[in-house]
Amino acid sequence: MYIKINAISLSIVFICTIAMVTDLLYSKIYNVLTVSGFFLGVIIHFLDLGPKGFIYSISGASVAFLICVPLYLTSIFAGGDFKLFVALGALGGVSYFFNTLQLSILVGCAFALVQLAVNRKLFDFLRRVFRSFLSFVIRPLDSHLPKIDKSTKMPYAIPIGVAAIAEVFFHPLKNWGLNLW
């Protein structure tokens, strides 16, 4: 297996590693990290490909911004997660952003299920999801939306970082036949 290492892949590994550590320890992804990642992506692509590289990087960041804004405004992502995705879009481009987003959702779901199991809340969570599903399928039942339990907060930079680094080196979605982009 051949792994391509260049300035972009090293930047992604460096930025994601720092984001994962700071989010885990301090529940924060610092602006200096995400803004630096954005500008690093723009500069590296511009130096490599000229104006086409600039457009490639800005396109990735713009698509990431447009897709992640609703997720941020509805509190699905925190601000740092949102800005980390924009920086990753600038570093990797549109296709890389979409693949990383998809993979981070899968990794995040797996992490969340493990966290719920460790905290002994998995059965209750699955029961609430099933009850919510039934309330939508069977109309006479009252609608029951599952309530968000704020006590089981997960640092989402970890799934993002795992997904971003995995996408750089291994392209798991493509290898699994799930690459939609």
Decide: 20 and 14 in contact? Cβ < 8 Å: no
C-beta of residue 144 within 8 angstroms of C-beta of residue 85 = no
Tell me the residue range of the domain where 108 lies. Answer: 7-120+155-176
**How confident is the model at residue 19, as a pLDDT?**
98
| 80 in any annotated domain | yes
For residues 33 and 22, is the Cβ–Cβ distance under 8 A?
A: yes
Domain count, the chain: 1
What pTM value is reported for the model?
0.88
Assess if residue 127 is contained within a domain: no
Over the stretch 141-176, which tens digit does the pLDDT of each residue have? 566 665 666 667 789 999 999 999 999 999 898 888
Host H or E run for residue 86: helix 79-118
Residue 128 belongs to a domain: no
User: Could you give the CA distance from residue 96 to residue 45 in angstroms, rounded to a whole number?
Assistant: 14
The answer as to whether 2 is a domain residue is: no
